[in-house]
Structure 1
């Protein structure tokens, strides 16, 4: 469940299979009950309790797998990994749904009414304590098997030692989750499922990774029907898609290099970067266009332009059969005029492109991004030539970075002239190369607890330098817009952190995402989503969610 993405058939077919009740033999039922009463355990070895007993009693029914997820920001961004898992679960005859903690009117009531057998949680580093507490609260209302997936359990699997966690899934969860549900339904042993670490007899069974799914076309289209109960998602005209999995590069701050190593060491050879066929991608976009409000197609691939042959075929097909404005992510050293022409043919209106640091030495030696400022600026000129808006991606508070280095990043962005310069405060994610580097060089305490947001604190800096980086984050984009703001920011970043700086930052970011970049719909869906989020704190105070 670490950034999984599932592809294949449309959601109508998936919904039809969701109500199919597969037959279970009497033998499997008898085996399950014998296992419970003779050993006090299910075949997997987990201690007997009501939630597992209930799972055995419902073996003649399809399993219910619920996902509970907290959205990260005001952006109405589809959680693609969860959507893909739900689609694949339904395709294989089980029931599945998604509840958003921020938007569900009464989360605990909804979960109790749904009566899930399994609840899945997609966890990023920094959010693990939130989900551990959420599990504790959910178990006051309903019994279930908890499974954590996502980047944090993949690279920090020790989280399974927590009492709240029954199972973790490392890597892609499409096949492992379905296998788990199948075995639960049949009352079979499931402690040996690859990709899963499972508690058994007071120990943790640590299974190796399974090979990556090579044929992405064999997977169903992501499930969007689960979002129709949320007004904002149902009405948002910006929809998200994935045409590939994996990234060919090994940036030191990113999880991809670690995930590649994990699969190589445990699963053996296999293609890490995989593409769906152009036909399969186009059919999904057509399906969404025919069934949902869709004005802008937003591809969330790590790198949309990594295969130029595929890109050419896609551009021609997309222009002929879809034609809607689209958004994607690119990398400057792969950009040439032919690539930009292909994107323009496909009606690409915005691209996101990483700068990360304007200091070439830091970018090359610390971040392991082997490209020059000249390459980045030249790529930007090509996008401007063809009328495609640019969002740059940047970081401040990097190891070995000074405030003056950060202003170098602002200067490079000034030359690029982006519609918006997106910026994060560097977070050394566990087990990445840069995380190890920060510990070895004394930038980071090994016991440091990751913050859930990359917009709040600089964990590797202290004192006034820490304050300056955290405040520069708020003025970064505006400093590129205005030389006056850039000049004033040198004094303002030394002020104490305050809510005014944060409001200015969020207002400008929201404006550019809606008006300039078209990355958010800005329609009534967004306003409805904002209204729901304003009520989130009230519902949380009333004990109806967490």
Structure 2
């Protein structure tokens, strides 16, 4: 059986415009996953990518473009759990007798049977999609395609997993040429492009499903391949911001050092951002210096908690001293720290734990703290524990936005978890000094920060964010945040 009996000529790939009700709604990153899949089949078919998020498209807008393009296959990306219902809405409206609907990404990977219950979903791609998607387009018999789930004669069939790609250097460069003209990818109005240099994570935090998606494997592209892609961006755009999208860019610091050496050798002048663990920073201060010299100006670090018991509970494999010393090393190199912290990081967490977190964040000077409620994503050990304890309160995926509590803990209710989240945000952005952060920004970026930024949009979004924080303050004072029917009126 083939996916389609006729020849496949047109493919449409969609990145949905789902809303998280958080600060990340103001960030748009290029959909490298879809662009790489597109690059794998451009020699076979015509491909169009609709990035509904960066273009701020509605479902109706997307459907109009589908009607004009008339694709044979529609692939919808859904890596974020909160976006699955939005993706399904698009799929339902777009489905016809003539096309096939394929879903892929982290969330579908963990719940393929659930999603295939919908008669408008034809195939789920599990795991990496590049080779799988090409085999679908080539017309291979569906029973022979590894890494997919589908329906046959009313039954759901899960084909064997596809082996992970051994050599990531064999992947083509993302098809950036398919981006809609005039699109503006940005992080807080700073123009940004993106590069993937590795996949997976060698660690196994209990709240995270990344290592599960990649089956516990961590694979990298060669330093030469990574730097060549950076060089292409630099030659095309000049100095701009580039986000290394890896979940853990610094897992192999020898490779990081080689990348930095090649960036310097090739005269590449880019403003680079990455995600990193903290323990490797403490162990490799000299390489952090090289990173700063090579253009790295901002690190997103997963701190999660300042309670060692919580760190151990989530299997973070990091010590409190690693966190404190690593932040100090980053600041010594004028690197701006965006730190992620979790409210509710262990089953027995209490209000006092969040109070301690707020005080330490202020003391060590996290430049931009990002707070989330630890959320039981599908496939995670944390979710299994909550279900076993009877603490899971909601299976509505649309609530899994990291600011809405979908569970309770032993000592904290759903409203209390949300209250603590809002309180942390208020204390983290109002009750603090911005002096050192501003000095770091000026020292590291200077006037280029202003020249690259849409200042008016930054001011508008900043004022909106501060206004929401003010509303949080009012809710804290009058107690309305603790009322369960009020919590959803707040947006961070």
Q: TM-score, normalised by structure 1?
A: 0.72
| Structure 2 partner of 1:538 | none
Deviation at 1:517, TM superposition (A): 13
In 1: Cα distance, 2:423 partner to 2:446 partner? 19
Cα separation, 2, equivalents of 1:176 and 1:516: 46
Is residue 238–residue 520 contact of structure 1 (8 Å, CA) maintained in 2? no
CA deviation after TM superposition for structure 1 residue 165, in Å: 0.8
Larger radius of gyration: 1
Query: For 1:303 and 1:516, how far apart are their aligned partners in 2?
Result: 30
Q: 1:245 to 1:291 in 2, by over 3 A?
A: same
- The residue that corresponds to 2:235 in the other structure is 290
Give yes or no for contact 1:83–1:222 (8 Å, CA) kept in 2: yes
What secondary structure sits across from 2:301 in the alignment?
strand
Q: Is it true that 1:248 corresponds to 2:179 in the alignment?
A: no
The answer to whether residue 418 in structure 2 is matched with residue 470 in structure 1 is yes
Shift of residue 448 of structure 1? Answer: 2.2
Evaluate the alpha carbon distance shift between residue 474 and residue 222 of structure 1 in structure 2; reply closer, same or farther with a 3 A threshold: farther
Deviations 1:292-335 (A, max 9, x none): 46511211111111112211111111123212221111111111
Tell me the residue number matched to 1:155: 110
Q: Distance in 1 between matches of 2:368 and 2:250?
A: 21
Shift in alpha-carbon separation, 1:484–1:76, aligned structure 2, 3 A? closer
Q: 1:137 to 1:519 in 2, by over 3 A?
A: farther
1:216-235 to structure 2, matched below 5 A, reads 216-233=168-185
Residue number in structure 2 paired with 1:119: 74
Match of 1:38 in 2: none
- 5+ residue gaps in structure 1? 1-42, 47-51, 265-271, 486-513, 531-546
User: Conserved in 1, the CA contact under 8 Å of 2:31 and 2:51?
Assistant: no
For 2:447 and 2:147, the matched residues in 1 are separated by 42
Q: Secondary structure, in 3 states, of the residue corresponding to 1:351?
A: strand
Q: Would you say 1:101 and 2:57 are equivalent positions?
A: no
Distance change in 2, residues 1:75/1:479 (3 Å) = same
Q: Distance in 2 between matches of 1:451 and 1:93?
A: 36
1:499 aligns with none
Distance 1:470 1:520, change over 3 A: farther
Report what 1:129 is aligned to.
85
Paired residue for 1:302? 247
- Aligned pair count reads 431
Contact 2:304 2:340 in 1 (8 A): yes
Contact persistence 1:63–1:181 (CA under 8 A)? no
Contact 2:13 2:34 in 1 (8 A): no
| 3-state DSSP of counterpart to 1:126 | helix
Give me the whole-angstrom Cα distance separating, in 1, the residues matched to 2:300 and 2:176.
24
CA deviation after TM superposition for structure 1 residue 170, in Å? 0.7
Structure 1 residue matching 2:297: 3-state secondary structure: strand
SS at match of 2:317: coil
Contact 2:200 2:211 in 1 (8 A): no
- Tell me the distance in 1 between the aligned counterparts of 2:380 and 2:348: 17
1:427 aligns with 2:375: yes
Q: From the superposition, tell whether residues 214 and 429 of structure 1 become closer, same or farther in structure 2 (CA, over 3 Å).
A: same
Using the alignment, how far apart are the partners of 1:353 and 1:517 within structure 2? Answer: 24
Residue 428 of structure 1: SS of its match in structure 2?
Answer: coil
Provide the rounded CA distance (Å) in 1 between the counterparts of 2:39 and 2:456.
24
Aligned to 2:279: 333
- From 106, 110, 135, give the equivalent of 2:65: 110
- What's the offset of the Cα at 1:137? 1.5
**Aligned equivalent of 2:440:** none
Contact 1:429/1:450 (CA < 8 Å) preserved in 2?
A: no
The TM-score with structure 2 as length reference comes to: 0.80
Alpha-carbon distance between aligned partners in 1 of 2:416 and 2:446, rounded to the nearest angstrom: 29
Asked if 2 retains the 8 angstrom alpha-carbon contact of 1:118 and 1:146, the reply is yes
Change (3 A) 1:277 1:389: same
Note closer, same or farther for the CA distance 1:305–1:518 as it changes in structure 2 (3 Å cut): farther
Equivalent-residue separation in structure 2 for 1:249 and 1:99 (angstroms) = 33
Q: CA deviation at 1:223?
A: 1.9
**Cα-to-partner distance string for 1:3-50 (whole Å, 9 max, x where unaligned):** xxxxxxxxxxxxxxxxxxxxxxxxxxxxxxxxxxxxxxxx33x7xxxx
Comparing both chains, which one has the higher relative contact order based on Cα–Cα distances under 8 Å and sequence gaps of 6 or more? 1
* Structure 1 counterpart SS, 2:391: coil
- Equivalent in the alignment of 2:436: none
CA distance in 1, matches of 2:234, 2:160: 40
Indicate if the aligned counterparts of 1:411 and 1:480 stay in contact, CA closer than 8 A.
Answer: no
| Contact residue 196 and residue 207 of structure 1 kept, 8 A | yes
